[in-house]
Amino acid sequence: MFLVVIQNERIYPSELKVDVGDTVHFECDTKNSAHFTFNGGHLPHSVMKINDQVIVINKVAEENEGTYQCRGSDQIKFKYMYFIAQAHLLVYSKSMSV
């Protein structure tokens, strides 16, 4: 058994800059089973999972800033496939707006 990294798995958008209070959607473009993580760990409680491929953050807070990863794996015959795609969220506070 060996590892194959799937190149066409992606997360949309891959980089997003939003203001505090905005709503954010991330979508993992995959046909495989997948799950999201935040900065390599669990998703914050403020993130709503719509399904295995979509998460939503309503009323974004500064604490939501970071890297969201879509991870997954599948096994076909003797090949174990693993993928990871990531997106970066940058949150601007209202006081930073000019």
Domain-located, residue 94: no
- More confident of the two residues 80 and 34: 34
Cβ count near 68 (within 10 Å): 24
Number of domains in the chain: 1
Looking at residue 17, its pLDDT comes to 95
pTM: 0.79
Partnered with residue 67 across adjacent β-strands are: 88
Q: Which CATH number covers residue 38?
A: 2.60.40.10
Write out the residue range of the structural domain in which residue 66 sits.
2-88
Tokens of 11: 């997360």
Q: Using an 8 Å Cβ cutoff, are 3 and 56 in contact?
A: no
Dump pLDDT digits (tens) for 1-20.
445 454 445 788 889 999 99
Determine, yes or no, domain membership for 93.
no
Structure tokens at 44: 């914050």
Q: What is the pLDDT of residues 49-93, one digit of tens each?
A: 998 889 999 999 999 999 999 887 766 676 767 778 889 999 998
Distance CA 16, CA 32 (A): 24
